[in-house]
C-alpha cells in the first residue's frame, strides 16, 4: 500500500528525516511513535503532498506519490494535529464543502456526508455550528471530513491529542470500525499504550530515523525482554548477589528488600536456565518473573538511548 | 454549472456575518453625504443670486465614481489580505491543499469572493449614482462602463491583496504591504511619468529638439495605473476624447511644429488609452494571481522546520 524509500528531508541544515525506509501493507493500522521533532509530521506531510522531500521516494499502490501528487490526493485522507474548522459553518455544511472539493455535490454529497456523520456519532449535530462542538466532536468531524472521498489511506496526526478519556475511547472505536472497513491507517500519537491497542504495527522514530519497527506483538515481546527481571529470594541473599554478578547476561543489579532487580539480556529459555542454576546452587527462591512490558517503557528506553 | 467550492463556502460564511451589512450601511452613508453636499452647493448658488447651474448636478456622477473607486481601492486589500493568511491562521490551508483543488482555484475562488462582496457595495450605491440621471447628461452606458472599470480595479487590487496574503502569515502586514504596492501603481507611476516628462522637456528645451515622439511615449509609463483608467474615462464622459489624447493634442495645437507621421500615430494611440490600460492591469493581476498560487503550492515552497 505505502512504500517509503530512503526519504530524507533537510530544513536548512537541520536533518528532519534521515533516509527513512518503511512499508505498510493494505488494511494495516500503523502507529507512528516518537518524541517531538522526530520527523513524524514531516513524514506524514510528505506522503500527503504537503512537503517536498530533499531526496527519496514515496509510492502509494505502486504510484510515485511525489511525481503524481495530484491524482493521489483522491486516495489519501489527512487529519492534521489541529482541527482546521470554520466557526461560521454548520457541521453538515463543513462536510459538504469538503465533499464539493472532491467533486461530490447535491444529493450524493448529502447522503455521503450524513453516512459519515453517523459513522463518527455526530448524526444529531448536522445543524450545529462547528464553533459549538466540543473538542472531541470537532476531532471526530475532522475524521469524517477526511473520509468524504472514501480514501484508501488515512493519515491521522495525533488524533487523540487533547481529548478526554471518553472522547479518546470513542475515537478508538471509530478507528476500529475503519479498520474493519479495510482502510489503511497511519496514526501518530504520544499516547503509546493506546497505540498498542489500536495498531497492528508500530514504528518508533528518533531524530528522523525509524529506530524500531514491527508488528505490535513482536515489539511488545521486545518490550517485555527490555523490562527488569525480579528474583524473590527466601534466603542466601549475599550468595545470590555474587552469583548474579558472575552472570554475563546480567547488565545491572539492584536490591529491593528480599528481591534482586536486574536487567537481564535473555529470553524466556534463558530465564528457565537461570532458575535451574539457582536450584542447583541451592539458593532458595520464591520465584522469578519479568515486570509487564508495555510500549511506553520501550519507547522511553529506545528514544532515550544516547541522550544525556 | 459547478461553482468554485471556495467561493460557495466564503459566500455562506460572509452572509452570516453582521460586518457586511454594517459596512454597506457606512459605505452608502458616505456616498449619500457626498451627494448631499453637491446638492447643497448647487442650492447655495441659486440663493446667492448666482445662476443656478443645473449642469453641475451631473458632476454627482464623476464625484461619486471617484469616491467609490478610492474606497474600493482601499477596501479590497482589507477584504483579500485575510483570505489566505486567514486560512493559515485557522490552519485550514493545509487541509485544502490535500484535496484535488489546485492552488490557483483556491486563489481565484478567494478573488471571486472579494469581487462579489465589493460589487454588493457598488450595486447598493446605484440609486445614488442614478441621481445624476434626474438632471441629464448621464445614461445607462456610463453606468455599465463604470461597473466595468470597477471590475478591473477590483481584480487588480484584489490580486495584489491575495498575493500579499499568500506571502505574509498575518493579516495586518498583508494589508499594509498590499496598500503600499497599490499606492506605488497609482503614485509611483505618476511620479515616474512626471519626473521623466520634466527631464525630457528640459532636455528638449536645452537641445532645441523638434521631434516630440518621446514625450508622446512617456504617458504610457502610467499604463499600469488604475487611477489613469478612471481619469481617462471620466474625462470622456464630458468630452469627446480621453484625457491623455486631449492633453497631447493641446500640447501641439499651439505649436508651430509640424507633426510627423509617427507623432500623429502616437497621439491617435492615446485616444485608445483605456484598452491597453485595462489589458495591462488585467495582465499584472494575472501575474499576481499566478505568484500567489505558486506561494501556496506546498510542492513549490521552501520547507520550514516542523516536528
Is the pLDDT at A308 greater than 50? The verdict is no
Comparing A74-78, A196-200, A232-236, B132-136, the range with the smallest average pLDDT is B132-136
Closest CA relative to residue A20, chosen from A158, B98, A2:
A2
Closest CB to B99: pick one of A73, A89, A93.
A73
Comparing A88-97, B131-140, B173-182, B274-283, the range with the smallest average pLDDT is B131-140
Phi, psi of A276 (to 5 degrees): -65, -40
Q: Is residue B5 part of a domain?
A: no
In tens, the pLDDT along A236-252 reads 888 888 888 888 888 77
Q: Is residue B14 part of a domain?
A: no
Say yes or no for a CB contact (<8 Å) between A49 and B16: no
Q: CA-to-CA distance for B109 and B116, rounded, in angstroms?
A: 11
Question: What is the pLDDT averaged over residues B158-174?
Answer: 92
Strands A184-188 vs A29-33: parallel, antiparallel or unpaired: parallel
User: Quick count: other Cβ atoms within 10 Å of Cβ A165?
Assistant: 8
Using CB atoms within 10 Å of the CB of residue B92, give its burial: 0 to 12 exposed, 13 to 18 middle, 19+ buried.
middle
What is the chain B residue with the closest CA to A80? B95
Is the pLDDT at B279 greater than 90? The verdict is yes
User: Quick count: other Cβ atoms within 10 Å of Cβ B47?
Assistant: 8
Q: What is the pLDDT of residue B145?
A: 93
Q: Are B289 and B107 in contact (CB under 8 A)?
A: yes
Closest CA relative to residue B278, chosen from B228, B244, B207:
B228
Closest CB to B91: pick one of A49, A78, A84.
A84
Say yes or no for a CB contact (<8 Å) between A78 and B98: yes
B169-178 in b/e form (b: 16+ CB < 10 A) is eebeebbebb
Strands A76-79 vs A153-157: parallel, antiparallel or unpaired: parallel
Closest CA relative to residue A240, chosen from A269, A224, A262, A225:
A262
- The SS3 assignment for A15 reads strand
Q: Is residue B306 part of a domain?
A: no
Residue with cell 478519556: A165
Say yes or no for a CB contact (<8 Å) between B9 and A86: yes
Q: Mark out chain B residues that contact chain A at CB-CB < 8 A.
A: 2, 5, 8-9, 12-13, 16-17, 90-92, 94-102, 298-300, 303-307
Which are the contacts of A22, defined by CB distance < 8 A and separation ≥ 6?
A: A2, A3, A4, A43, A203, A210, A213
A233-261 in b/e form (b: 16+ CB < 10 A) is beebeeebeebbeebeebeebeeeeebbe
Q: Is residue B124 part of a domain?
A: yes
pLDDT band at B226 (very low <50, low <70, confident <90, very high): very high
Q: In A49-164, which residue ranges form alpha helices assigned H by DSSP?
A: 69-72, 91-101, 106-119, 135-146
Using CB atoms within 10 Å of the CB of residue A223, give its burial: 0 to 12 exposed, 13 to 18 middle, 19+ buried.
buried
A16, three cell numbers: 528532519
Q: What is the pLDDT of residue B76?
A: 92
Q: Is A207 left (phi over 0), alpha (psi -120 to 50) or beta?
A: left
Sheet holding A14-24, edge to edge: A14-24, A2-11, A55-60, A63-64
**Stretch (H or E) spanning B131:** helix B131-134
A-chain residues within 8 Å CB-CB of B306? 11, 16, 41-42, 45
Say yes or no for a CB contact (<8 Å) between A89 and B12: yes
Question: What is the pLDDT averaged over residues A129-133?
Answer: 89
Between the two ends of chain A, the Cα-to-Cα distance in Å is 38
Residues in a beta bridge with A3: A23, A59
Phi, psi of A262 (to 5 degrees): -135, 145
Say yes or no for a CB contact (<8 Å) between B5 and A69: no
Q: What is the pLDDT of residue A224?
A: 64
Is the pLDDT at A33 greater than 70? The verdict is yes
Residue B284 C-alpha, separation from nearest chain A C-alpha, in angstroms: 28
Q: CA-to-CA distance for B63 and A177, rounded, in angstroms?
A: 66
- Polymer length in residues for chain B: 307
Instruction: Indicate the average pLDDT of chain A.
Output: 84
Question: What is the pLDDT averaged over residues B84-94?
Answer: 86
Q: Identify the sign of the CA torsion A126, A131, A134, A140.
A: positive
Q: Is residue B11 part of a domain?
A: no
- A45 touching B, CB under 8 A? yes
DSSP one-letter string for B244-262: HHHHHHHHHHT--PPPPHH
Question: What is the pLDDT averaged over residues A172-200?
Answer: 81
Closest CB to B95: pick one of A16, A78, A93.
A78
Residue A305 C-alpha, separation from nearest chain B C-alpha, in angstroms: 19
pLDDT band at A49 (very low <50, low <70, confident <90, very high): confident
Q: What is the pLDDT of residue B114?
A: 92
Q: Is residue B307 part of a domain?
A: no
Closest CA relative to residue A181, chosen from A147, A214, A215, A138:
A147
pTM for this prediction: 0.80
B-chain residues within 8 Å CB-CB of A12? 305
Comparing A219-233, A272-286, B272-286, the range with the smallest average pLDDT is A219-233
Q: Are A50 and B298 in contact (CB under 8 A)?
A: yes
Q: Identify the sign of the CA torsion B108, B113, B117, B119.
A: positive
Q: Is residue B97 part of a domain?
A: yes
Phi, psi of A37 (to 5 degrees): 85, 5
In tens, the pLDDT along B103-126 reads 999 999 999 999 999 999 999 988
A-chain residues within 8 Å CB-CB of B113? none
A264, three cell numbers: 537481564
Residue with cell 511525481: A67
Say yes or no for a CB contact (<8 Å) between B13 and A11: no
HSE, side-chain direction, 13 A CA sphere, residue B290: 6
pLDDT band at A292 (very low <50, low <70, confident <90, very high): low
Say yes or no for a CB contact (<8 Å) between B303 and A11: yes
Q: What is the pLDDT of residue A159?
A: 80
Pairs of CB atoms within 8 A across A/B: 90
Domains: count for chain B? 1
Q: What is the pLDDT of residue B304?
A: 45
- A206 touching B, CB under 8 A? no
pLDDT over 90, % of chain B: 40
pLDDT band at B303 (very low <50, low <70, confident <90, very high): very low
pLDDT band at B306 (very low <50, low <70, confident <90, very high): very low
pLDDT, greater one: A269 or A166: A269
- The SS3 assignment for A244 reads helix
Is the pLDDT at A273 greater than 50? The verdict is yes
B7, three cell numbers: 467561493
In tens, the pLDDT along B244-263 reads 888 888 777 666 667 778 88
Q: What is the pLDDT of residue B171?
A: 87
Residue B164 C-alpha, separation from nearest chain A C-alpha, in angstroms: 21
Q: Are A155 and A186 in contact (CB under 8 A)?
A: yes
pLDDT, greater one: A265 or B52: A265
Say yes or no for a CB contact (<8 Å) between B306 and A50: no
Residue A176 C-alpha, separation from nearest chain B C-alpha, in angstroms: 24
B75, three cell numbers: 477596501
Closest CA relative to residue B111, chosen from B172, B178, B159:
B159
Using CB atoms within 10 Å of the CB of residue A213, give its burial: 0 to 12 exposed, 13 to 18 middle, 19+ buried.
middle
Comparing A48-52, A123-127, A275-279, B299-303, the range with the smallest average pLDDT is B299-303
Question: Domain span at residue B161?
Answer: 19-298
B55-64 in b/e form (b: 16+ CB < 10 A) is eebbbbbbbb
- E strand map for chain A: 2-11, 14-24, 29-33, 55-60, 63-64, 76-79, 153-157, 184-188, 201-206, 209-215, 229-233, 250-256, 259-264, 285-290
Q: What is the pLDDT of residue B73?
A: 93
Closest CB to A84: pick one of B12, B95, B304.
B95
The whole-angstrom distance between residue A71's C-alpha and the CA centroid of its chain comes to 27
Q: Is residue B305 part of a domain?
A: no
The whole-angstrom distance between residue A11's C-alpha and the CA centroid of its chain comes to 24
Q: What is the pLDDT of residue A112?
A: 92
Q: What is the pLDDT of residue B46?
A: 63
pLDDT over 70, % of chain B: 91
Instruction: Indicate the average pLDDT of chain B.
Output: 86
Phi, psi of A58 (to 5 degrees): -130, 125
Amino acid at each position: 500500500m505505502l512504500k517509503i524509500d530512503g526519504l530524507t528531508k533537510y530544513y536548512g541544515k537541520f536533518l528532519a528525516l534521515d533516509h527513512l525506509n518503511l512499508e505498510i501493507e493494505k488494511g494495516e493500522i500503523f502507529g507512528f511513535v516518537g518524541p517531538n521533532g522526530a520527523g513524524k509530521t514531516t513524514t506524514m506531510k510528505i506522503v500527503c503532498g504537503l512537503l517536498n522531500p530533499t531526496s527519496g521516494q514515496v509510492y502509494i499502490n505502486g504510484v510515485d506519490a511525489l511525481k503524481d501528487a495530484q491524482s493521489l490526493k483522491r486516495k489519501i485522507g489527512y487529519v492534521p494535529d489541529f482541527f482546521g474548522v470554520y466557526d461560521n459553518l454548520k457541521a453538515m455544511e463543513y462536510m459538504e464543502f469538503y465533499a464539493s472539493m472532491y467533486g461530490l455535490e447535491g444529493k450524493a454529497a448529502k447522503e455521503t456526508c450524513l453516512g459519515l456523520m453517523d459513522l463518527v456519532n455526530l448524526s444529531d449535530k448536522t445543524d450545529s455550528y462547528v464553533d459549538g462542538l466540543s473538542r472531541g466532536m470537532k476531532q471526530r468531524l475532522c475524521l469524517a471530513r477526511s473520509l468524504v472521498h472514501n480514501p484508501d489511506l488515512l493519515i491521522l496526526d495525533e488524533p487523540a491529542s487533547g481529548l478526554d478519556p471518553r472522547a479518546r475511547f470513542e475515537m478508538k472505536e471509530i478507528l476500529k470500525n475503519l479498520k474493519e472497513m479495510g482502510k489503511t491507517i497511519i496514526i501518530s500519537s504520544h499516547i503509546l499504550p493506546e497505540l498498542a491497542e489500536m495498531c497492528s504495527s508500530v514504528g518508533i522514530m528518533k531524530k528522523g530515523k525509524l529506530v524500531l519497527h514491527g508488528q505490535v506483538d513482536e515489539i511488545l515481546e521486545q518490550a517485555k525482554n527490555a523490562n527488569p527481571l525480579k528474583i524473590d529470594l527466601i534466603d542466601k541473599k549475599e550468595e545470590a548477589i555474587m552469583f548474579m554478578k558472575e552472570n554475563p547476561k546480567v547488565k545491572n543489579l539492584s536490591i529491593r528488600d528480599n528481591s534482586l532487580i536486574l536487567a537481564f539480556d535473555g529470553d524466556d529459555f534463558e530465564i528457565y536456565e537461570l532458575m535451574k542454576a539457582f536450584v542447583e546452587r541451592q539458593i532458595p527462591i520464591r520465584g522469578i518473573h519479568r515486570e509487564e512490558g508495555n510500549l511506553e517503557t520501550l519507547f522511553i528506553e529506545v528514544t532515550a538511548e544516547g541522550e544525556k | 454549472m459547478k461553482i468554485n467550492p471556495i467561493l460557495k463556502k466564503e459566500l455562506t460564511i460572509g452572509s452570516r456575518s453582521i460586518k457586511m451589512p454594517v459596512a454597506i450601511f457606512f459605505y452608502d452613508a458616505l456616498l449619500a453625504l457626498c451627494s448631499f453636499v453637491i446638492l447643497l452647493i448647487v442650492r447655495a448658488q441659486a440663493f446667492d443670486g448666482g445662476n443656478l447651474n443645473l449642469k453641475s448636478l451631473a458632476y454627482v456622477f464623476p464625484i461619486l465614481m471617484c469616491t467609490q473607486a478610492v474606497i474600493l481601492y482601499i477596501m479590497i486589500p482589507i477584504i483579500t489580505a485575510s483570505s489566505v493568511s486567514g486560512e493559515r491562521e485557522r490552519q485550514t490551508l493545509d487541509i485544502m491543499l490535500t484535496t484535488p483543488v489546485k492552488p490557483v482555484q483556491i486563489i481565484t475562488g478567494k478573488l471571486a469572493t472579494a469581487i462579489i462582496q465589493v460589487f454588493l457595495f457598488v450595486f447598493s450605491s446605484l440609486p445614488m449614482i442614478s441621481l445624476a440621471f434626474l438632471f441629464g447628461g448621464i445614461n445607462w452606458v456610463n453606468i455599465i462602463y463604470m461597473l466595468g472599470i470597477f471590475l478591473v480595479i477590483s481584480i487588480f487590487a484584489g490580486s495584489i491583496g491575495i498575493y500579499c496574503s499568500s506571502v505574509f502569515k498575518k493579516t495586518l502586514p498583508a494589508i499594509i504591504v498590499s496598500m503600499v504596492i497599490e499606492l506605488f501603481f497609482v503614485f509611483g507611476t505618476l511620479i515616474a511619468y512626471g519626473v521623466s516628462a520634466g527631464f525630457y522637456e528640459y532636455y528638449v528645451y536645452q537641445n532645441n529638439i523638434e521631434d516630440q515622439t518621446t514625450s508622446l511615449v512617456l504617458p504610457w509609463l502610467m499604463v499600469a495605473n488604475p487611477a489613469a483608467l478612471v481619469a481617462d474615462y471620466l474625462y470622456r464622459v464630458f468630452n469627446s476624447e480621453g484625457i491623455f489624447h486631449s492633453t497631447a493634442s493641446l500640447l501641439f495645437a499651439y505649436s508651430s511644429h509640424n507633426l510627423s507621421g509617427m507623432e500623429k500615430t502616437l497621439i491617435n494611440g492615446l485616444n485608445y488609452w483605456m484598452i491597453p490600460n485595462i489589458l495591462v492591469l488585467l495582465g499584472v493581476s494575472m501575474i499576481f494571481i499566478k505568484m500567489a498560487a505558486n506561494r501556496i503550492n506546498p510542492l513549490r515552497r521552501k520547507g520550514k522546520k516542523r516536528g
